[in-house]
């Protein structure tokens, strides 16, 4: 049988559970890493962006 879609390949394969667990861990590590990166930056890095809505447009 020729698989019709990517879903058929992953759902009917021998190691389908392994692929799903690996994908879950990749997504978890990505989002945890992103959160760690954002919170590890100094506060000064975000001050300009935080005050952008309050700035006047006449400075441009």
CA atoms 39, 41, 44, 47: torsion sign? negative
Q: Give residue 3's pLDDT band: very low, low, confident or very high (50, 70, 90).
A: low
What is the pLDDT at residue 24? 95
Measure the CA–CA gap between 52 and 59, rounded to whole angstroms.
12
Q: What is the mean pLDDT of residues 4-28?
A: 81
Q: Does the predicted TM-score (pTM) go above 0.85?
A: no
**H helix or E strand, kind and range, residue 5:** none
Name, in order, each residue with C-beta under 8 angstroms of 59's C-beta and a sequence gap of 6 or more. Answer: none
Confirm if 19 and 10 have CB atoms less than 8 A apart. Answer: yes
The answer to whether residue 13 scores a pLDDT higher than 80 is: no
Domain ranges of the chain: 6-50
């Amino acid at each position: 049988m020729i698989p019709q879609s990517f879903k058929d390949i992953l759902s009917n394969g021998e190691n389908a559970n392994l692929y799903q667990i690996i994908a879950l861990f990749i997504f978890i590590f990505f989002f945890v890493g992103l959160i760690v990166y954002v919170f590890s930056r100094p506060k000064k890095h975000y001050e300009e962006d935080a005050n952008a809505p309050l700035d006047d447009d006449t400075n441009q």
